Amino acid sequence: MSTTSATTSSPNRSTTSTGVDSVAVDEHGHAVAGMFDAIADRYDLMNLVMTWGQEPRLIRRTVTAARLPQAPAVLDLAAGTGDLAFAVLSRYYGAEITACDIAPEMMAVGAARPGGDQIRWVQADAMDLPFADHSFDAVTHGYLLRNVTDISATLAEQFRVLKPGGWMAALEMSPAPRNVIKPFSTAYITWAVPRIASWITDNPEAYEYLSRTSRGFHPPQVIQRMAHEAGFRSTGYELHMFGTMAIHWGQKPLD
C-alpha cells in the first residue's frame, strides 16, 4: 500500500503501523472511528445482510454514476474496507485511487485485500480533507453523510477537491417512502438488523447506531438540494430497493 503523503502536508499527519496515512480528527470522529474499527472484520458481511445482498450491484451503479474518464484520479471517502475503491480499480486501468476513512482498522482490512497495495489509504476527516483544490476527477463515497456532523461542510470539501467538470457519486441509505413496503422496511432495519448483528458480530450496539442513523437520515430530495447549495450542478439521484437506498450525483461546473 502507498504511504506517500497527501497532496498537502499537515503538521498533524503521521503513518500508522499498518501503513495508513493519518491526520488528527475531532472527538466525534474518534467515536465514529472506534465504533467502525470494532466491527471491521464483519463489516462487509453485515452490509450484505443489510442490503439483502444487493450492495455489490449498488456499488457498481455508484461507480457508473461517477462518470469517470480513462485513468482517473479518484477520491473514495468513507472508504471502509475499500469496496467502492476496488470496484473502480477493477473497471479503470491506470486509475489512481485514494481511499480515505476516519477508521484506520477498517482501511487496514482493505489494504490487506488482493490489490490493496495499488490503492493509497489515508485516514482523515471528510469535513477537513488534507488535499489541494482541484485534485481529483471524481469523489465517491458510501454511507458517509449520515455519519458526519455537518453535511454541508462535507459536500463543500468534496466540491473543493474536485477538478472542474468532475463528478461526485454517493451511495446512501434513504428513509423508506410511505408505501406498502414501509412497515416491513422499518421493522427490518429497526429490529432484524441489530438482532442479526448480535449473532454475527461482537458489537451489535454499532448496528443499533447504524439502524438509528438510517431511519433518521434525510430524504434524497434534501441531499440533492444540499449538493446544489454546495455548488454542484446536474444533481440527481436514483432510488433502489423500494426507495430505501439512493445513489446521488452532481458535477462541479467547468467554469
pLDDT in tens, 113-134: 999 999 999 999 999 999 999 9
Cα–Cα distance for residue pair 100/124, rounded to 1 Å: 6
In the sheet with 162-173, reading across from the earlier edge strand, the strands are 14-15, 21-22, 119-123, 96-101, 73-77, 136-142, 162-173, 245-251, 233-240
8-state DSSP, 191? I
Q: Is 117 annotated as a binding residue?
A: no
Residue 108 has pLDDT above 60, yes or no: yes
Of 19-33, 61-75, 103-117, 230-244, the poorest mean pLDDT is in 19-33
142: three-class secondary structure by DSSP: strand
Of 132-146, 149-163, 212-226, 238-252, the poorest mean pLDDT is in 212-226
Stronger pLDDT, 104 or 23, i.e. the higher one: 104
Note the pLDDT of residue 174: 87
Note the pLDDT of residue 199: 73
> What is the Rg, in whole angstroms, of the alpha carbon atoms belonging to the chain?
17
Mean pLDDT of 219-242: 96
Cα–Cα distance for residue pair 63/124, rounded to 1 Å: 22
Of 24-28, 72-76, 172-176, 211-215, the poorest mean pLDDT is in 24-28
Smallest Cα–Cα separation from 44: which of 91, 88, 79?
79
Cα–Cα distance for residue pair 130/161, rounded to 1 Å: 9
Count Cβ neighbours within 10 Å for each residue of 109-125 and write b for 16 or more, e otherwise. Answer: bbbeeeebeebbbbbbb
Contact 20/1 with Cβ under 8 angstroms?
Answer: yes
Stronger pLDDT, 94 or 210, i.e. the higher one: 94
Residue 148 CB coordination number (10 Å): 21
Q: Is 125 annotated as a binding residue?
A: yes
Q: Is 112 annotated as a binding residue?
A: no
72: three-class secondary structure by DSSP: coil
Note the pLDDT of residue 177: 73
Residue 239 has pLDDT above 60, yes or no: yes
Q: Is 137 annotated as a binding residue?
A: no
Write the single-letter amino acid at 11: P
Dihedral sign for Cα atoms in the order 76, 78, 84, 89: positive
| Grid-cell match 489515508, residue found | 122
Check: pTM over 0.95? Answer yes or no: no
Of 65-79, 118-132, 176-190, 212-226, the poorest mean pLDDT is in 176-190
Note the pLDDT of residue 250: 99
Write the single-letter amino acid at 224: Q
| Grid-cell match 451503479, residue found | 61
Note the pLDDT of residue 128: 96
Band (pLDDT 50/70/90 cuts) for residue 179 is low
Mean pLDDT of 47-72: 89
Smallest Cα–Cα separation from 100: which of 8, 155, 20, 17?
20
pLDDT digits (tens, 9 = 90+) for 1-55: 333 223 333 334 444 444 455 544 556 667 777 776 666 666 676 777 777 778 8
According to DSSP, the residues that pair with 30 across neighbouring strands are: none
Note the pLDDT of residue 2: 37
Cα–Cα distance for residue pair 108/85, rounded to 1 Å: 14
Note the pLDDT of residue 15: 45
Band (pLDDT 50/70/90 cuts) for residue 157 is very high
Residue 69 has pLDDT above 60, yes or no: yes
Write the single-letter amino acid at 28: H
Residue 219 CB coordination number (10 Å): 13
